[in-house]
Structure 1
C-alpha cells in the first residue's frame, strides 16, 4: 500500500487573501482551479509544487464571505509544511516583513517549529524537517528556503487510540508520543499527530477550518479495494467518487474526522500541460450550465496580477469583470433567499461586456436572506424599508468614491425583493443610479413620496401570470408620475425568471444578449 498524505482541504472566506498568502507569501504554485464537485458554485483552489505532486497539495473550498468555523474535536486542527533544517529564521523574518501573524517558535518531536496564522486564522506550522524536497516553483524565495512538501496534520480525537488504530489501515504506524499527542508516521516520512481531545468543544465547520485530510493510494484499484474492505467490516459509512484528477474514498474515522483516500493518478495534468497548470478554470464534468456557473465564482489575481481591491462598505459585495469590459457597471440586488452571485449569469447574458457588482442583503426572515423585513404576505415594515433605502443610497455614494464609478455608465438591476427595495430607494432618494431594471417588482411603500425622477430611466419586466403583476403596474404608475421614463415589458410566466428576461434587458440597454446557456 502507498502511504502518506495526498492533500489537505480547508475552507477560506476570502479568496484573494488566500491566494496572496499561499501563492504569494508561502510561494506555492496554484496548480488547479475548479468548480466544486459537491456544489459547482463553490470555487476550489489547489496549491502545490511545480508538478502538483501528491504530498505537496493544500486545497481550499472558497466560501466567499462565509461565516467562521471553530476547530475542535473531530477535526484537523492544524497543518504543517516542511522546510529545510535551519530555515526557520528566514521564515520568521519573512513573516514579520509580510505582516503575517506569528504565534511563536518551539520544539515538537525534536524539530524546530514556527507557528503562523493564515488570513482565515488557520494554524500553519513551518517545521524544520529532513524530508526530500519537491520541485517548488521559482519566485522570490531562495531555493534552499522554499517549502519542501506537507510535513503533516494534527487531528483532534476524543478516542485517540481508536483513531490511531484506524489510520494504521492507511499505512500510518505509531511513532513517538509527546504529552497528549501520539505521532503516526508514513513510509515516506510525513506524519499525522493525533491529539487526545476528550472534553474539547466539538468542531464547527466554517471558514478557517479544515474539511478533511486525504491519504495516498497508488491507483483507483487500491482505493476500491480499501472501500470493499471497509464495507465488509461495516466500520464506517463510505463514499466512493471519481474526482476526474483522482479516485476518492471518504470515510469518518472513529473520532469523526473526515478522511479521504485519493489515488495518485491520473493527476492534474490530465487536462492541462505542466506549464499551464492552474491558469484555466475548469468545471466538473456534467456541471449544469457551466458557463453560468463560471460567472458566479469569485475572481482573484495571482501575485503581480491586477485585481480588485475590495473596500469595506455597507453591503457585502462582489465584482465579476468580463474578459473585455466596456466600462459599464450593473449593480445587482438578489431576490429573497439569494446572494450576491445569483443574478450574475442573467446579467452577463444581457450585458456580456459589463462589469457586474453583486450586493448581499442584510435582513433575514425564516432563514432566508432579504433586503428588508415583512410582517406577512404583502405587509412590509415601512421603517425598515426606509432605513435600508437610506443604506442603499449611502452604499452607492461610497462605491462611487471607492471604485471610481461613472454615474453615466452605472445601472442597477433588482429581482423581486431586491427590485422592491431598489424602486423604493429611488423614490426616496432620487440621486440613486439614474437607470434601473426592475424584474417582477411590487410597490412596497404605503404611499409614493413626492419626488422628482425626471432624467431617470427604468425598465420594469412583469410576469404575465405573476400574482404581483398588479403591484408592479402600480409601481410603474408611481415612477412615471414622479417623472421617470418608464418602459414596461410583460413576459410569459409568473414570478420566476425565464428565457425572455435577458433579451428584454439587453434590448433596453441597447446590447446584444448572449444566447441561452
Structure 2
C-alpha cells in the first residue's frame, strides 16, 4: 500500500521563468500541460521524474501576472527534493553560476541541505539523501523524488493527528518542528503560533497531496471525513482525488497513483501536448489561445519584456506578419479577446494588454464616477501612457506601429476612441465594439488629422449606452477617419455578427 506525498502544487505568476527553473535549472521533466480542472483558463504544469511518478511531482497553476500571496500559518511553507548526497557541491556551483538565490550547505537532521528560491520566491530545499528515482532522469544529479514538505500551523497537535489519516507517524521533534514520517518521505509540522496567516496568491504553495492506493481508498476517506469540509471525489483524468483542510487550515489532497500521465501520451512524448479537461472539450480551441505560451529549455523562444502595461503575446503556428493589439472590457484581462481575434484572423499575432486602472478589484482602462460619467483627467493620463506603451512595445518587439490593428471592446474600445482623438496618428486601423464618446470636451480635430485611419464601429441596437456612440462617430469622421459604423441586433454583449462583420472588414483591408 503506497503512502507518502503524491505531489505538491504551487502558484506561479511567470510561466516561462517557472519552466526555466523547474525543467531547466533543476532538470525535472515537464510531464503534462493542461488547462486546470477547476478553471480551464488556468494553465497547469506538472514536473517530475521521467514518467511523472507519484512522489516525484511538483505542479504549478499559472496565474500570469497574478497578485502575490503571503506565506503564513495554514500553508505549505517549503518543499524538499532528494538529490544524490555527493551532488550537493555540484548543486551549489550550479546555483551560483545561474544566480539562483541559495543558502547553505546546512546540516539538518543529519542531512546536507541547500535552500533555493525559485523565481516566485518559493523555497525549494535540495536534500542530499539516497532515495532512488522510480523513473530516473538523464541528468545524474537531477532530483530523484520529493523528500518532504513543511507545514506552518497554529494547531500543531491537531495537524499531526490529522496527517496520521494519510499513513504518517510521529518522528523526532526538534524545537518547534515535529517530523511526521511515511514509508517514503517526511512532513515537518512547524508550530507557527502567533505568526501571521497565509494569503493565497502567486509565489505560495497551494496544497500537498498524499498518495491513495486506489479509488476505493479515496471513497472510504471521503466517508471518514464526512464531518469536515472534504469535497466530493473529483476525476482529474490522471488520478481521482478529494480535497480537505486540516484543522489549522492547510489544504490537503488525497490522490490515486493511477491511471497516471501516460494515459493520453506515450512515455517518450510526455508533456508535449496541451490538453484541456474533458468537460471543456467544446471550447478547446479557444482555451489553447487563452492559455499562456512558453518554450521548453533548448526550444526557440520569443523574449518578453517588462513594460509599463501587463501584456501577453499569442503567436499562431503560421504567423502572417500581422499583429492585432487587444484591449479588454471592464473586468477583463489581456487574454479575454484572444479567442475572438484568433477567429477573426487565425494567422495574426495577438498582443493582449491589461488596463492599469482598477475599480472594486476589477480591471479597467480608466476610472469612472458612474456608469456614464468618466474621470477626464484619468482618461487623458491613461491614453498618454498607452501611447507610450505602444512606442516602447514597438521598439522592444520590433513591431511596426503603422502596421498594427487594434481591437477593443466596451471600456477598451472607449480608450481607443479617446486615444484616436487625443493622439492623432497613433492608431491607423481599429475595430471598436460597443464604443462610445467618453471625452466631455473632445479636441477640435483638423479635417485631415485622422486621414489614413480606418475604423469599424459596431454598436448594439439594444445597448443602453448606444445613445453615446454617435458622438464618437462624428468626432472620428470630422477628423478625416474612414469610418464604417454599423448597428447590429445586440445589446452590450458580443454576438456572432461581431465576428462575421469584423472578420470580413479585416479581410478586405
Q: TM-score range by the shorter chain?
A: over 0.9
Look up the match of 2:362. 368
Look up the match of 2:308. 314
Query: Displacement, 1:419?
Result: 0.5
- Does the CA contact (< 8 Å) of 1:104 and 1:116 recur in 2? no
Which residue, out of 236, 249, 254, partners 2:242? Answer: 249
- Does the CA contact (< 8 Å) of 1:81 and 1:126 recur in 2? yes
Q: Deviations for 1:132-183, whole angstroms, at most 9, x for unmatched residues?
A: 2333432xx4x1x121111000001111112111111111111111111111
Which residue, out of 273, 282, 289, partners 1:280? Answer: 273
Query: Displacement, 1:503?
Result: 1.2
Instruction: Compute the RMSD of aligned alpha carbons.
Output: 1.3
How many residues align structurally? 505
2 CA distance for matches of 1:415 and 1:56? Answer: 44
Query: Displacement, 1:278?
Result: 0.4
1 CA distance for matches of 2:348 and 2:240? Answer: 39
Look up the match of 1:131. 131
Which residue, out of 501, 506, 513, partners 2:503? Answer: 506
The 3-state SS of whatever aligns with 2:278 is: coil
Query: Displacement, 1:347?
Result: 0.6
After TM superposition, list the pairs within 5 Å mapping 1:114-129 onto structure 2: 114-129=114-129
- Does the CA contact (< 8 Å) of 1:239 and 1:251 recur in 2? no
Residue 227, structure 1, aligned to residue 215, structure 2: no
- Does the CA contact (< 8 Å) of 1:236 and 1:253 recur in 2? no
The 3-state SS of whatever aligns with 2:233 is: strand
Look up the match of 1:265. 258
Look up the match of 1:340. 334
Residue 31, structure 1, aligned to residue 12, structure 2: no
Query: Displacement, 1:470?
Result: 2.7
Look up the match of 1:395. 389
- Does the CA contact (< 8 Å) of 1:28 and 1:136 recur in 2? no
Query: Displacement, 1:453?
Result: 0.5
- Does the CA contact (< 8 Å) of 2:87 and 2:128 recur in 1? yes
- Mean Cα displacement is larger for which, 288-297 or 384-393? 288-297
Residue 427, structure 1, aligned to residue 421, structure 2: yes
The 3-state SS of whatever aligns with 1:345 is: helix
2 CA distance for matches of 1:417 and 1:410? Answer: 20
- Does the CA contact (< 8 Å) of 2:166 and 2:210 recur in 1? yes
Which residue, out of 148, 155, 170, partners 1:159? Answer: 155
Q: Deviations for 1:372-396, whole angstroms, at most 9, x for unmatched residues?
A: 1111131111111111110111111
Which residue, out of 323, 326, 330, partners 2:317? Answer: 323
Q: Deviations for 1:81-106, whole angstroms, at most 9, x for unmatched residues?
A: 00011211100000011111113321
After TM superposition, list the pairs within 5 Å mapping 1:290-305 onto structure 2: 290-305=284-299
1 CA distance for matches of 2:381 and 2:13? Answer: 28
Residue 175, structure 1, aligned to residue 168, structure 2: no
Q: Deviations for 1:476-499, whole angstroms, at most 9, x for unmatched residues?
A: 111011011111122211111011
Residue 438, structure 1, aligned to residue 419, structure 2: no
Q: Which runs of 5+ in 1 are unaligned?
A: 513-517
Look up the match of 2:465. 468
2 CA distance for matches of 1:307 and 1:470? Answer: 46
After TM superposition, list the pairs within 5 Å mapping 1:47-86 onto structure 2: 47-86=47-86
Q: Deviations for 1:451-473, whole angstroms, at most 9, x for unmatched residues?
A: 30011111111112212223222
Summarize the Cα distance change of 1:376–1:107 in structure 2 as closer, same or farther, 3 Å threshold.
same
The 3-state SS of whatever aligns with 1:289 is: helix
- Does the CA contact (< 8 Å) of 2:153 and 2:193 recur in 1? yes
Q: Which runs of 5+ in 2 are unaligned?
A: none
- Does the CA contact (< 8 Å) of 1:331 and 1:411 recur in 2? yes
2 CA distance for matches of 1:389 and 1:108? Answer: 55
Look up the match of 1:97. 97
Which residue, out of 192, 211, 222, partners 1:216? Answer: 211
1 CA distance for matches of 2:88 and 2:266? Answer: 34
Look up the match of 2:405. 411
- Does the CA contact (< 8 Å) of 1:440 and 1:462 recur in 2? yes
Query: Displacement, 1:434?
Result: 0.7
The 3-state SS of whatever aligns with 2:499 is: helix
Residue 453, structure 1, aligned to residue 450, structure 2: yes
The 3-state SS of whatever aligns with 2:286 is: helix
Look up the match of 2:201. 206
2 CA distance for matches of 1:59 and 1:381? Answer: 43
- Does the CA contact (< 8 Å) of 1:436 and 1:459 recur in 2? yes
The 3-state SS of whatever aligns with 1:286 is: helix
- Mean Cα displacement is larger for which, 406-415 or 457-466? 406-415
Q: Deviations for 1:370-428, whole angstroms, at most 9, x for unmatched residues?
A: 11111113111111111111011111111110001123431111111110111111111
Query: Displacement, 1:511?
Result: 6.9
The 3-state SS of whatever aligns with 2:85 is: coil
The 3-state SS of whatever aligns with 2:269 is: coil
1 CA distance for matches of 2:123 and 2:294? Answer: 23
Query: Displacement, 1:236?
Result: 4.5
Compute the TM-score of the two structures, normalised by the length of structure 1: 0.96
